[in-house]
Amino acid sequence: MAAAGAPDGMEEPGMDTEAETTVATEAPARPLSCAEAEAAAGAAVEDSCAARGHLQPAPAQPPGDPAAQASVSNGEDAGGGAGRELVDLKIIWNKTKHDVKFPLDSTGSELKQKIHSITGLPPAMQKVMYKGLVPEDKTLREIKVTSGAKIMVVGSTINDVLAVNTPKDAAQQDAKAEENKKEPLCRQKQHRKVLDKGKPEDVMPSVKGVQERLPTVPLSGMYNKSGGKVRLTFKLEQDQLWIGTKERTEKLPMGSIKNVVSEPIEGHEDYHMMAFQLGPTEASYYWVYWVPTQYVDAIKDTVLGKWQYF
């Protein structure tokens, strides 16, 4: 006996809908076109970047950006001062001041190279002074240069130096030739009358066999040709030699002094007699007696300079 229900060959209501739903659910997805795939990938990237945007590193400074460069102070030593103790100097040349920082353990020779880079003066044409001529082989620390020190530089162009110093060289050669022909200066009558007075009681002490830089005080207690007391003051900042007596003080530009001669005093070799040639002949010599021997070379170097020609 057939059960009650739909007639044979007829489907129950709802069967078509269930079948269609099952088919729609299990049907494989349609492949995406190229344009649709690209759009979907782009959206995913944008979502990821948006989520991590606050974690992105800042862009690097481009090479050569001034903000990324370390600044170098004006006047920093050209040889590099990193890790070296620097001292502030005032380089004064031709009435112009240059403020520079320079390593305290650099030598006088290295300082001349620095001055060359600032002023254009070749090292061989420079007279560099700090309480006397600055030795090329000693460091600024050794000669006790302090911060804020004034370094005086005297120098001229090669043409000026040749014009001024050629007559000096000729005068020196003539003076040496004349000295070789004559008896020792200290035995000559004109000098004997001064030397016979004996050594002045207030003359400065001498140190035989030693060369020293010029003292910071005037050289005093000496005699001049007339037997009067005389003192020598070296005004390095003005490039002048002051010859002072009780009556007056002569202020002489060092460039005007043609020559300097000296000779040890017999029996007192730790003192010299010295003359400054102020004119073209020997008659212009200004004589000074009882100059301590340790200062003789420093006086000659300071007045005449150690010029070299290229």
- Tell whether 109 is covered by a domain: yes
| Per-residue pLDDT, 125 | 84
| Per-residue pLDDT, 165 | 54
Residues 192, 299, single domain; the answer is yes
Residues 197, 136, single domain; the answer is no
Give per-residue pLDDT as tens, 106-161: 999 999 999 988 888 888 888 898 888 899 999 999 999 988 899 988 877 565 55
The torsion defined by the Cα of 288, 294, 295 and 300, in degrees rounded to 10, comes to: 90
CATH number at residue 111: 3.10.20.90
Q: Tens of pLDDT along the chain (310 residues)?
A: 444 444 444 444 444 444 444 444 444 555 555 555 555 555 554 554 444 544 455 445 444 444 333 333 344 444 445 568 899 999 988 888 999 999 999 999 999 999 988 888 888 888 898 888 899 999 999 999 988 899 988 877 565 556 655 555 566 666 665 655 567 888 888 899 999 999 999 999 998 888 898 888 999 999 999 999 999 999 988 889 999 999 999 999 988 999 999 999 999 999 999 999 998 888 899 999 999 999 999 999 989 875 433 3
Q: What is the DSSP string of 49-70?
A: HHHHGGGPPPPPPPTT-GGGSP
Residues 298, 198, single domain; the answer is yes
CATH number at residue 208: 2.30.29.30
Residues 272, 207, single domain; the answer is yes
Task: Tell me how far CA of residue 223 lies from CA of 10, 195, 264, 284, 300, in angstroms.
Answer: 154, 9, 15, 17, 19
Residues 207, 281, single domain; the answer is yes
Q: In what helix (H) or strand (E) does residue 45 lie, and over which residues does it extend?
A: helix 34-52
- 252 within 8 A of 304, measured Cβ to Cβ: no
Which residues, other chains included, contact 136 with Cβ-Cβ below 8 Å and sequence gap of 6+?
A: 107, 108, 109, 112
Which residues, other chains included, contact 172 with Cβ-Cβ below 8 Å and sequence gap of 6+?
A: 259
Give per-residue pLDDT as tens, 235-268: 988 889 999 999 999 999 988 999 999 999 999 9
Task: Provide the residue type at 32 as one letter.
Answer: L
| Per-residue pLDDT, 216 | 85
| Per-residue pLDDT, 2 | 44
Residues 116, 213, single domain; the answer is no
Boundary of a domain, candidates 105, 126, 160: 160
Residues 149, 235, single domain; the answer is no
Backbone torsion region of residue 137, taken as left when φ is above 0, otherwise alpha when ψ lies between -120 and 50, otherwise beta: alpha
- Tell whether 241 is covered by a domain: yes
Residues 127, 222, single domain; the answer is no
- Tell whether 18 is covered by a domain: no
Task: Tell me how far CA of residue 206 lies from CA of 90, 116, 271, 281, 282, in angstroms.
Answer: 33, 36, 7, 31, 28
Residues 238, 299, single domain; the answer is yes
Range of the domain at 132: 86-160
- Tell whether 105 is covered by a domain: yes
- Tell whether 42 is covered by a domain: no
- Tell whether 29 is covered by a domain: no
| Per-residue pLDDT, 54 | 47
Residues 151, 237, single domain; the answer is no
Residues 194, 294, single domain; the answer is yes
Task: Provide the residue type at 31 as one letter.
Answer: P
- 42 within 8 A of 35, measured Cβ to Cβ: no
